Structure 1
Amino acid sequence: MTEKPRAAGPGSTGAAPGGSASPGEAGAESRVVIRNNRKIIDTAGSDGAAADAGSDVPAEGLVEEAEVVVDEIQVETAAGDDGIPAGPPVVDAPAEPVDAAAATSLGAELEALRTELDERTRDLQRVSAEYANYRKRVDRDRGLVTEQATGAVLAALLPILDDLDRAREHGDLVGPFGSVAEQLTAALGKFGLTPFGEKGDPFDPTRHEAVAHQTSADVTEPTCVQVMRRGYQIGERLLRPALVAVADPE
């Protein structure tokens, strides 16, 4: 039985075809690795083919190298393009079914919240409008009360003003007394007291109180021909009507 040649180690050299190699050439020559799996298996499985080729290449060493190369190729094929070994396939978890009863309950709850929000909004608007009306009413009442209090005080001073008017008509408002009368009239005017009722004014039954009537060819409408007592008002409020004599046209 013919013995197969053994694989050469790292320090041994293989015989080249057609002659023997020197030790220096054998050290400089690098080992050749054949990466064709089919050819290596054919060479390792057929002793006659290896003998006919006349090659001294160790078959067992080539088979071991070929197995290593095949393992590396399989590892590279199993790895992805990025070099990371591919893991088991990822299967998406099935979506959980939506509970129809829960969805209906949430919709009803949402609708109830919206209804309650609308009611609270209307309540807030109603309260805001009531508060605005209350403020206006309070301001109006406050002004009315102030005007009434001022009118009550001024009404108590009207007889004094009537005496001053009579003294003025007789020419008695002279000197210091006349100066005091003017200052008093100016001070009362600051509170809104306005006198009215002059001779020749058209007769107004809402502001004048007629105590005498006569006819005259000099007038074309009812006219105040004599003022017995002047009237007073505070703003638009009538404090006292004027006493007048009225002349009607003939």
Structure 2
Amino acid sequence: MTEKPRAADPGATGSVPGGSAPAEQAAGDGPRVVIRNNRKIGKTEEAPAAADAGADVPAEGLVEEAEVVVDEIEVETVDGPIPAGPPVVDAPAQPVDGGAVAPLGAELEALRAELDERTRDLQRVSAEYANYRKRVDRDRGLVQEQATGSVLAALLPILDDLDRAREHGDLVGPFGTVAEQLTTALGKFGLTPFGEQGDPFDPTRHEAVAHQTSADVDEPTCVQVMRRGYQLGERLLRPALVAVADPE
């Protein structure tokens, strides 16, 4: 069935051959959409009946042009900026075939193995450095303690003289004050005297120079102290010289 050519719209300008859109619209008209349909009339098609006796019938081989005009199109405007849609994320590229996966997997395994090796190296170096710091701190402490012990050991004979002067009652007046200040100052370095009469005998701290028996003791006891012993912290500087009484 053929379509009749529609009469030109009064509000539209002349159309350009070849199916181009109208050049411009009439003032005051709304948006218009023109759809054209070009068909070539063949020999077997019947010519459309004319609307009146004077209508022209398209000749054979000519192009029949039909247009459909949509008079009104509602256009909705939006105030403000148009909201942006969700970001477009490109899908990860998929391998064309399984042949490219094997080299990537092997390279990934090699990188993981190298990372594990470097991690173990770092842990080993960290442990060695921690042990080195502990060893250095321990050695530094031992050197400092040995140096302090050497100085204090050189002062022990002076302390023995002060003890003998104290036993004879000579530490009086200014001399006694100086002796007490010296003992206090040496105590700040960790020097501690030991060895008193009546202490249990300890062979690791006492050096027995005399033995006797007594019914007044239940265990070996220091009954006389000839020379006091000294220790620096837990370190023994000098044992005490004592006389020991064993039980009968």
Counterpart of 2:64 (choices 63, 67, 77) is 67
**Structure 1 residue 98, shift from structure 2 partner:** 2.6
Separation in 1, partners of 2:188, 2:95 = 85
Counterpart of 1:215 (choices 213, 216, 238) is 213
Separation in 1, partners of 2:234, 2:135 = 19
SS at structure 2 position matched to 1:103: helix
2:142 alignment partner in structure 1: 144
**Structure 1 residue 58, shift from structure 2 partner:** 2.4
Question: CA offsets, 1:48-96, max 9 Å, x none?
Answer: xxxxxxx855221x769x9332xx35x99xxxxxxxxxxxxxxxxxx98
> What is the identity, as a one-letter code, of the residue corresponding to 2:110?
A
Give unpaired runs (5+ residues) of structure 1: 1-39, 45-54, 77-94
SS at structure 1 position matched to 2:199: coil
SS at structure 1 position matched to 2:65: helix
Give unpaired runs (5+ residues) of structure 2: 1-45, 71-93
SS at structure 1 position matched to 2:210: strand
Q: TM-score, normalised to structure 2's length? A: 0.66
SS at structure 2 position matched to 1:243: strand
**Structure 1 residue 42, shift from structure 2 partner:** 4.3
Q: What aligned pairs does 1:35-184 form with structure 2 within 5 A after superposition? A: 41-44=47-50, 57-60=53-56, 67-69=64-66, 72=67, 97-98=96-97, 100=99, 102-184=100-182
Question: CA offsets, 1:119-169, max 9 Å, x none?
Answer: 100010010001101101110000000000000000000000000000000
Separation in 2, partners of 1:143, 1:59 = 124
SS at structure 1 position matched to 2:217: coil
Identical-residue share of aligned pairs (%): 81
Q: TM-score, normalised to structure 1's length? A: 0.66
1:19 alignment partner in structure 2: none
SS at structure 2 position matched to 1:211: strand
Separation in 1, partners of 2:176, 2:159 = 12
Question: CA offsets, 1:97-117, max 9 Å, x none?
Answer: 4361x4322222211111111
Summarize the Cα distance change of 1:43–1:118 in structure 2 as closer, same or farther, 3 Å threshold. same
Separation in 1, partners of 2:192, 2:98 = 83
2:196 alignment partner in structure 1: 198
Q: Which has the higher strand share?
A: 2
Summarize the Cα distance change of 1:196–1:96 in structure 2 as closer, same or farther, 3 Å threshold. closer
SS at structure 2 position matched to 1:59: coil
Length, aligned pairs only: 178
> What is the identity, as a one-letter code, of the residue corresponding to 1:241?
P
